[in-house]
């Protein structure tokens, strides 16, 4: 039996070796490489979670809240920049021409006359890309280093934005950026409401109303948040910023569980700004799982129309040099190594394509970006990419989905038209006089003046109203039929 086993092993071993020699090693290498690629590219499955208030989950590992918008790293900078540059026909053409000078039959001039300009062009582009990526690094560092107040059972602690984790209880002040996706627990308002600005998330300039959870808003102090044994069930992260399904659970003193449904009105998404009051939120999503990051694509190299046009003109000039080279060779005669003569002619005519044009274009873009940021007529303008600043001068149409996107939502009252009567800026004194008669000012005990809604002695008759009555009703409707958000300024 032992001898049979050894024979079978020897046969299987010899068959395996023969399989490797017959090309099996290549198939094995492909399978290993494919498995490694699938493992590296495999995305983490997003799942729903239960977040305990103030108690991190030791079993599940959530992404860091550190923001990174950089396009390159130390290891990928040179390969990515070279790939982005030599995918253009202009740079690729001069690269091939420069390599031909290493072949003695094709050498025409000195190597530095071909490699020098090409290396200078690539160097200028690399410096520009390095400058843009360094600006992204500075912006990310400023955002990650912003300080926030964290509530703990032992008191308040100051942490940076990059150190925020899921289950942290963060205090957000007025006009402060919300660092992560949160559930609103408490506000400084008695009714538990606050307003957030979402213009950096969805482009809407109007304020959004947010409501705190009733069980947390009714607590006497912020310290009692850690005594209710609260937890939040949050659905798995997704891109939709207008929907959320969750549940807030608490355990009472008699061990009776209480649950409250959570919706979009109870959330505060990352990169929005608190517009009023002070809010306390529970972090449920951080980093790459926040709504803002899920709706953001990876940074890529932008290509302007000028670059595309120059690339197309370079192809046209290259075809012209090829046609010219073949024509000259036809006049001479196709004798001997004629293909070498054609290549030499193409190399000689390569000076028709100006490589210095690319250098001048890149330097002009840098200067243009610098001038835009320092233009006194448009203060606060930030150039995030110096690759396509010239595209601003080629805009032909501005498409807007509604009014207010391109304007400042500041309206000036210029004319009031009622039937056959029109009131303008010149006749506005008549309107003000009529309003004083129908809304007489009253004085209260603390000497502050105010107006009654309407003077009862000047009610219009039941029949047809006069022009003055219509004017009063119209102005009153303009004054009352809109939303007013009171904001209390400190001091």
The residues, any chain, with a CB within 8 Å of residue 414's CB and separated by 6 or more, are 424, 425
Locate 78 and state its tokens: 């040179």
The DSSP line for 148-183 is EEEEETTEEEEEEGGG--TT-EEEE-TT-B--SEEE
The residues, any chain, with a CB within 8 Å of residue 51's CB and separated by 6 or more, are 57, 166, 167, 231, 232, 234, 282, 283, 284
Q: Residue 475: how many CA atoms within 13 Å on its side-chain side?
A: 21
Q: Which of 189, 188, 198, 148 has its CA nearest to residue 169? A: 148
* C-alpha span between 192 and 212 (Å, rounded): 5
Neighbours of 395 (CB within 10 A): 7
* C-alpha span between 224 and 221 (Å, rounded): 6
Give the sign of the dihedral formed by CA 403, CA 407, CA 411, CA 414.
negative
Neighbours of 389 (CB within 10 A): 20
The residues, any chain, with a CB within 8 Å of residue 262's CB and separated by 6 or more, are 183, 213, 232, 244, 245, 246, 247, 248
Whole-number Cα distances in Å, 317 to 174, 305, 323, 327, 352: 60, 18, 10, 15, 7
* C-alpha span between 282 and 232 (Å, rounded): 9
Pairing of strands 449-451, 441-443: antiparallel
Identify the active-site residue in 22, 401, 446, 469.
401
Q: Residue 475, Cα to own-chain centre: how many angstroms?
A: 43
401 is catalytic: yes
* C-alpha span between 395 and 412 (Å, rounded): 29
Q: Which of 214, 242, 237 has its CA nearest to residue 284? A: 237
| Catalytic residue annotation | 401
């Amino acid at each position: 039996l032992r001898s049979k086993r050894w024979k079978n092993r020897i046969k299987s071993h010899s068959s395996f070796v023969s399989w490797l020699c017959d090309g099996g090693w290549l198939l094995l290498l492909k399978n290993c490489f494919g498995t490694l690629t699938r493992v590296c590219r495999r995305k983490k499955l997003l799942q729903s979670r239960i977040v305990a208030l103030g108690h991190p989950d030791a079993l599940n590992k959530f992404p860091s809240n550190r923001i990174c918008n950089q396009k390159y790293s130390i290891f990928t900078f040179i390969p990515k920049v070279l790939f982005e540059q030599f995918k253009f026909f202009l740079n690729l053409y001069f690269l091939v021409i420069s390599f031909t000078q290493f072949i003695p039959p094709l050498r025409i001039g000195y190597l530095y006359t071909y490699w020098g300009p090409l290396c200078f062009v690539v160097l200028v582009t690399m410096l520009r890309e390095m400058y843009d990526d360094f600006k992204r690094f500075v912006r990310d560092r400023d955002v990650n280093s912003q300080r926030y107040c964290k509530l703990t059972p032992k008191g308040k602690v100051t942490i940076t934005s990059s150190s925020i984790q899921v289950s942290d209880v963060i205090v957000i002040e007025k006009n402060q950026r919300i660092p992560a996706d949160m559930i609103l627990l408490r506000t400084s308002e008695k009714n538990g409401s606050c307003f957030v600005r979402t213009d950096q998330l969805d482009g809407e300039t109007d304020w959004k109303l947010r409501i705190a959870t009733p069980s947390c808003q009714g607590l006497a102090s912020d310290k009692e948040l850690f005594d209710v044994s609260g937890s939040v069930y949050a659905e798995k992260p997704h891109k939709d910023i207008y929907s959320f399904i969750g549940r807030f659970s608490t355990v009472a003193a008699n061990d009776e569980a209480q649950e409250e449904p959570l919706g979009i009105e109870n959330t505060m998404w990352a990169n929005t700004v608190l517009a009023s009051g002070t809010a306390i939120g529970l972090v449920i999503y951080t980093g790459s799982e926040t709504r803002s990051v899920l709706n953001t694509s990876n940074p890529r190299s932008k290509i302007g129309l000028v670059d595309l046009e120059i690339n197309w003109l370079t192809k046209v000039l290259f075809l012209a040099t090829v046609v010219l080279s073949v024509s000259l060779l036809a006049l001479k005669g196709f004798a001997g190594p004629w293909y070498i003569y054609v290549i030499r002619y193409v190399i000689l005519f390569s000076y028709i394509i100006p490589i210095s044009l690319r250098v001048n274009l890149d330097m002009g873009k840098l200067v243009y970006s610098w001038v835009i940021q320092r233009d006194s007529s448009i203060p606060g303008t930030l150039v995030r990419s110096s690759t396509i600043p010239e595209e601003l001068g080629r805009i032909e149409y501005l498409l807007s989905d509604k009014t207010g996107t391109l304007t400042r939502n500041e309206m000036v009252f210029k004319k009031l038209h009622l039937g056959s009567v029109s009131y303008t800026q010149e006749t506005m004194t008549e309107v003000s006089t009529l309003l004083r008669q129908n809304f007489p000012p009253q004085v209260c005990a603390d000497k502050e003046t105010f107006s009654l809604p309407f003077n009862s002695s000047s009610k219009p008759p039941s029949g047809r109203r006069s022009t003055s009555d219509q004017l009063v009703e119209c102005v009153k409707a303009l004054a009352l039929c809109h939303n007013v958000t009171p904001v209390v300024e400190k001091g």
